[in-house]
Amino acid sequence: MRATIATAVVLAATALTVAGGQALAAAKPTAVASPANCGWQPANNDNNTSGRFADDGVNIRSGDSTSCAVLGLGYKSHTITLRCFWNGFVYLTDNTTGVTGWSAVDYVNWPGGLNDC
């Protein structure tokens, strides 16, 4: 049993050594973008602040990321109810179409005072 463990240790040490006797450096962890919250409906969404879209054709998405599916489009003439804010997006309902989802904060106008989701 000792011989098997010793052999395994030698093999592992050999595998970690490259030409010239330099040991391989351990891989450094890299920052990974958090996955999009597509389909997320936050529990804290009772803000009910009125607002409007800042532009025509604003995407209303299934989550707080541009990688999430588009559920509908908002227009300046539409009224909206803003529920909460998260990750640069606003969770809202387009009162004109009935679509509820997420739009980038840059494309939404409201008087202020929106809670985090």
Q: Is residue 90 part of a domain?
A: yes
Q: Is residue 89 part of a domain?
A: yes
Q: Give pLDDT, residue 115.
A: 86
Instruction: Look up residue 85 and give its two tokens.
Output: 């804010």
Query: By residue range, what is the domain housing residue 68?
Result: 49-109
Which stretch of DSSP H or E encloses residue 7? helix 2-15
Q: Give pLDDT, residue 41.
A: 84
What tens-digit pLDDT sequence spans the chain (117 residues)? 434 334 443 344 443 333 444 443 333 333 333 456 798 888 777 778 899 999 999 999 999 999 999 999 999 999 999 999 998 999 999 999 999 999 999 999 988 778 888
Q: Is 80 exposed, middle or buried (0-12, 13-18, 19+ CB in 10 A)?
A: buried
| pTM (2 d.p.) | 0.68
Closest CA to 63 of 28, 27, 34: 34
CATH of the domain at 64: 2.30.30.40
The backbone torsions φ and ψ at residue 65, rounded to the nearest 5 degrees and listed phi first, read -160, 150
How far is the C-alpha of 3 from the C-alpha of 18, rounded, in Å?
Answer: 24
> Per the structure, how many domains does the chain have?
1
